[in-house]
Amino acid sequence: MVFRNNFSIPLLFLATVALLFAGGAEARFRGISPYCKTADYKLLCNAMVKGAKNLNQATENSIRSTLKVALHLNSMLKTIKPAISFLTPVTRDSIIETCHSNFADFVDELTGALADLKGKDIGSLMTKLSACTMSDCTDSFQQFDARFPLTKTTNALKSFIESIKVVSSIQDKFDQFNRISAIQF
């Protein structure tokens, strides 16, 4: 009986602490853009939309932020050469060409996504975002057991793409709602 009474006090304390932390969770997300509420990377998404006043602007800002990072990453491609210096020249050149092509495609897809946004073609925009991967480049490194030196950066780029997809999916749902509400019954 004594054990039971002593046990309930720590349990009550833990429950109180848990409630305090749960109540603070809402405060932790104050200041997050309404376009980023469902994003896995809320703070990143919030920085990407940069205080946009509407959904279109939020989508454009997030794509432009990612494009800026992708262009910076493209300028870092010279760092991959030392990581594959042990390979034959033909293999090394092939990997470098694959990575250059992959990065160029990534930038092209983002640029195309901006054009699709302006043309209000959200379906094509979502398709282009899905095509934004660095897998060809990273796979070529794995194929030859080489360490890809830009892994952290390309992983961060994936987070950027996921954040754009969250904002764009809101845009897509908004457009679907407008199409449905425009139907005359």
**pLDDT per residue as tens digits for the range 95-150:** 999 999 999 999 999 999 999 999 999 899 999 999 999 999 999 999 999 999 99
Global confidence as pTM: 0.76
Does the pLDDT of residue 23 top 80, yes or no? no
Dist. CA 136–CA 179, nearest whole Å: 37
What Rg value do the Cα atoms of the chain yield, rounded?
23
Give 175's pLDDT tier (boundaries 50, 70, 90): low
Dist. CA 46–CA 52, nearest whole Å: 9
138 close to 151: Cβ distance less than 8 angstroms: yes
Dist. CA 53–CA 67, nearest whole Å: 20
Share of the chain above pLDDT 70, in %: 76
**pLDDT per residue as tens digits for the range 42-58:** 999 999 999 899 999 99
